[in-house]
Structure 1
Amino acid sequence: MRYGEATVTVVDPRSYMTYQPFLPEAAAGSISPRHVVVPLRRVLPKEAEVLTGRVTSIDQDRKVATIAPLVGDAYELPFDYLVIALGAVSRTFPIPGLAEQGIGMKGIEEAIGLRNHVLEQLDKADSTTDEEIRRRALTFVFVGGGFAGAETVGEVEDMVRDAAKYYRSISREDMRFILVDAADRILPEVGPKLGKYGKEHLESRGVEVYLNTSMESCVDGHVVLKNGLEVDSDTIVWTAGVKPNPALARFGLPLGPRGHVDCEPTLQVKGMDYVWAAGDNAQVPDLAARKAGVENAWCPPNAQHALRQAKVLGDNVISGMRGFPQKEYSHANKGAVAGLGLHKGVAMIVLGKKTKIKLKGRLAWYMHRGYHGLAMPTWNRKIRVFADWTLGMFLKREVVSLGAIESPREEFYEAAKPAPAPAAAAQPQKTEERAKAS
């Protein structure tokens, strides 16, 4: 756009964007958590104004959005054109105990929390002689065998294997890793053969993989699986898929059967010529798949489509402002890559309609890191991520738990609390009472 032609306002409850494919490596300490996020105000110093808050409702008739800032009263923000890109949230089910015990993997805060929590479990197990507490602390349950679940269990298993070397009373054999999925295979995005390899690889590392199985309960950490297995665990990681942000229901938009914003191939919301949507919250027809004969195909919720949709969306918004025709979004799947820990991974590369290259092991792991390293937004973050990986080749993995970071004021609060009255100060009062009684 020309300078001064429009004002672009970005509203987000966080002032940064998270590159989610790197969350498993951040949880394992392979990448610094700060390098997985991109500060919005730094990368958009002139292009946009950033408001830290939430859009609570949208009046489509008046073209006004209601903003709830971090502090203060809500206010209205008028707009001419609207882009909906809320992404997705964890898809959960009404499983008893899940809300209290589960740990998600959708944000950098959860990745940091998972890392600190897992390392704290090792500290807990090493400091006790109670066998039941020890066994519970060293049992790790992961629910969901897609990219997030398989990559997270692979990275975390690598991390605790390294960390166990520094504990005298803990070895890898004392730990129990369990991966549960309701489907008949893990990593469905890379195909059945590579999915089978991924399962066998994790099992060779001591991970118990249960397919066609769901979790029925986890009250107080007591995990009950549909296949009858019951274990006690303080670590239950939930990665069983995603769903569109439920806030979409308050925005007056046409939604699909699963809650996505219903879009045309141009990424325009159906029936609205001033609203566009993209990414995980959008239901966009997959034109490439439909041309190949797949009926009712929709673009899957992954970074491969979201990044490319964003570019088409940006062009279409400007075209809409100037009255030009809209361009349809079409992208053929280029494959998928997944890391299963250090030097281990799977990759499927699509070169044509019938040509697919399938890789596994170290070469696939290199492709995983190379693809996502280059896709990471901004050169600042690209360089920092590659620097983390380079240092990791020569330096040992950090296995420090900073669990206290979640409640940093606790120690100061204890120090600042008023001291209780000493016992000696109460003695004179008792003497006076005895004198009166006599």
Structure 2
Amino acid sequence: MNTVTRPRILVVGAGFAGVECVRRLERKLSPDEADVTLVTPFAYQLYLPLLPQVASGVLTPQSIAVSLRRSKKYRTRIIPGGAIGVDLKSKVCVIRTITDEIVNEPYDYIVLAPGSITRTFDIPGLTDHAFGMKTLAEAAYIRDHVISQLDLADASQDPVERASRLQFVVVGGGYAGTETAACLQRLTHAAVKRYPRLDPGLIKWHLIDIAPKLMPELGDKLGSSARDILRRRGIEISLGTSIAKAGPEEVTFTDGRVVPTRTLIWTAGVVASPLIATLGAETVKGRLAVAPEMNLPGDDGVFALGDSAAVPDLAKGDGAMCPPTAQHALRQGKHVADNVIASLRGQVMKPYVHKDLGLVVDLGGTDAVSKPLGIELRGLPAQAVARGYHWSALRTNVAKTRVMTNWLLNAVAGDDFVRTGFQARKAARLKDFEYTDAYLTPEQVRAQVEGAGRPE
């Protein structure tokens, strides 16, 4: 076979699903059987569950950014950019590279694993004044921002300004929001000891969620345990509450309270990547509707998985869809690779079935709640399970070594509370990190592929 006639497999996204798919394709396909291309802005896989620990300084950013180029056997071609549109009819993916060049990438098989973006609502001032917690850059930025608030409050002679800089609001009572509030509260609690001019009592953390319960997936008992742990630390938890509007120096809650703050962290869920809307295909709550085999019915060679795909959860049945978790994404990545290979070789594809193994929530220090295989754990046993699970899920030995070293060093030596300078004079907020305005409409995709014009 020559290069021209080899099938072209294009994988979009380097999250858990996309990377596992690529690794499996490389292991199972011979070099002359197909060409594999990966589209991603960054040549690393981000271990997203540990992002709050980067924001709090327990882990360094590099420790959870697992390089895609460490393997000497790596033969996948990487296009540094993001997919902004897909023309299913022409079998072309439109890509915006990191240099802002728009290119058309043809494919024979495409695996869509673009992940998700932060879910926002039409709340006045939200995207202008809130921080997200979805990317490595956001986590590093938030750490700098929180420490800078302590620095500025310490230097201020204005008691009103000082009070507003020392109040922090996290919206979202799911895993991301709860762990973010827990980890950052520990950061400020430890850091204030280095600021003798600051009254520790002025530091206040608020965790709010419109839902009636904290992390309802854990069940009533563990959810209550997590809530009690956070309240003992002084975190004020308000359920059944959200944000009415956000400003540069205050946030208004839906219950009428006005909280003076310079820090609003928004973690109220995720939605599928806007890339899915460019396909013009059927969706379920914004996620691409796929068969149990994770292929798109009616479109040969199109597969989707992870956060952007509505994959039937056959283990639960009753029309349930797989939740957008790393646990499912990892297994779906391997399974969809097998189905791509089966399709390429003219074999029968198999449906995806996986029974959920449980949940882990790391609240920092010795605090955690976990539910492995339905067994409820709290405290040190839960912490051991949580960190053991995350550590084992890291893809390379180098990443495992870095994370374990960071954990041990932080436990023994603590933090120096150093700002890296990542926060420039120009403030950056949620809208500046996720580039949601970069995607094309289906009409723009068609025009780009047909050469009728270049999208702006």
What's the TM-score bracket when you normalise by the shorter of the two chains? 0.7 to 0.9
Matched, 1:282 2:309: yes
Structure 1 counterpart SS, 2:349: coil
| 1:196-245 Cα shifts (integer Å, max 9, x gaps) | 11111111111100001111111233211112211110000000000001
Residues 251 and 261 in structure 2, CA contact (< 8 A), matched pair in contact too: yes
Q: Deviations over 1:137-184 (max 9, x none)?
A: 000000001000000010001111111111111243120110100001
SS in 1 for 2:312: coil
Determine whether 1:234 maps to 2:262. yes
Distance 2:130 2:72 in 1: 35
1:276-298 C-alpha deviation (Å, 9 max, x unpaired): 111101100100101xxxx2211
8 Å Cα contact 1:53-1:68 kept in structure 2: yes
| Counterpart among 351, 358, 372 of residue 376 in structure 2 | 358
Q: Separation in 2 of the partners of 1:72 and 1:115?
A: 29
Computing the radius of gyration over CA atoms, which structure comes out larger, 1 or 2? 1
Q: CA RMSD in A?
A: 1.6
Matched, 1:29 2:57: yes
**AA in 1 matched with 2:396:** T
Q: Is the 8 A contact 1:180 1:210 kept in 2?
A: yes
By how many angstroms is 1:72 displaced? Answer: 6.0
Deviation at 1:43, TM superposition (A): 4.3
Amino acid at match of 2:146: V
* Alpha-carbon spacing, 1:250–1:373, altered in 2? closer, same or farther (3 Å): same
Relative contact order (alpha carbons < 8 A, sep ≥ 6): 1 or 2 greater?
2
Any conservation in 2 of the 1:349–1:358 contact (CA below 8 Å)? yes
Are the counterparts in 1 of residues 171 and 208 from structure 2 also a CA contact under 8 Å? Answer: yes
Matching residue's letter, 2:288: V
Kindly indicate whether residue 359 of structure 2 is the aligned counterpart of residue 336 of structure 1.
yes
Residue equivalent to 2:224: 196
Segment of structure 1 superposing worse, 170-179 or 317-326: 170-179
Distance in 2, matches of 1:408 and 1:49, equals 37
Does residue 327 of structure 2 align to residue 299 of structure 1?
Answer: no
Q: Per the alignment, do residues 376 and 226 of structure 1 end up closer, same or farther by CA in structure 2, a change over 3 Å counting?
A: same
Q: Is the CA contact (8 Å cut-off) linking 2:244 and 2:253 kept in structure 1? A: yes
Match of 2:237 in 1: 209
Q: For residues 290-342 of structure 1, what are the alpha-carbon distances to aligned partners after superposition, in whole Å with 9 as ceiling and x for unaligned? A: 1xxxx221100010110111111111110010011111111111110001121
> Which residue identity does 1:369 align to in structure 2?
R
Whether 1:81 aligns to 2:99 is: no
Residue from 264, 273, 286 that aligns with 2:291: 264
The TM-score with structure 2 as length reference comes to 0.85
Q: Does 1:136 align with 2:164?
A: yes
- 1:58 offset after TM fit, Å? 1.9
Unmatched segments (≥5 aa) in structure 1: 351-355, 410-438
1:412-427 equivalences under 5 Å are: none
Is 1:55–1:67's contact at 8 Å kept on the other side of the alignment? yes
Mean Cα displacement is larger for which, 47-56 or 66-75?
A: 66-75
CA–CA distance in structure 2, aligned partners of residues 73 and 235 of structure 1: 35
In structure 2, what is the Cα distance between the partners aligned to 1:164 and 1:7?
Answer: 54
Aligned residues: 398
Which residue of structure 2 lines up, in the alignment, with residue 65 of structure 1? 93
Post-superposition CA distance 1:11-66 (Å, at most 9, x none): 11222221110100011111111111122233486330100012222222221222
Amino acid corresponding to residue 372 of structure 2 in structure 1: I
- Bigger Cα displacement from structure 2, 97-106 vs 70-79: 70-79
In structure 2, the CA distance between the partners of 1:228 and 1:50, relative to structure 1 (3 Å rule), is same
Partners of 1:114 and 1:407 lie apart in 2 by: 12
Equivalent residues of 1:101, 1:221 under 8 A apart:
no
What secondary structure, in the 3-state scheme, does the structure 2 residue paired with 1:220 have? Answer: coil
Match of 1:170 in 2: 198
The yes-or-no answer on 1:14 pairing with 2:35 is: no
2:123–2:244 CA contact under 8 A, matched in 1? yes
Question: Which whole-Å CA distance do the structure 1 matches of 2:52 and 2:100 have between them?
Answer: 36
Deviation larger for 45-54 or 374-383: 45-54
Mapped contact 1:269–1:275 kept (Cα < 8 A): yes
Give 2:422's aligned residue: 405
TM-score by length of 1: 0.88
Structure 2 residue ranges without an equivalent (≥5): 1-28, 427-456
After superposition, give the CA deviation of every residue in 1:60-99 in whole Å (9 maximum; x if it has no partner). Answer: 2221222222226422211110000000000000111111
Match of 2:336 in 1: 313
Distance 1:358 1:395, change over 3 A: same
Q: Which of 382, 391, 394 is equivalent to 2:409? A: 391
Moved more, 377-386 or 96-105: 377-386
Determine if contact 2:144/2:423 at 8 Å carries over to the other structure.
no
Letter of the 1:96 partner, please give it: P
Query: 1:165·1:171 contact (CA, 8 Å) conserved in 2?
Result: no
Q: Specify the alignment match of 1:184 in structure 2.
A: 212
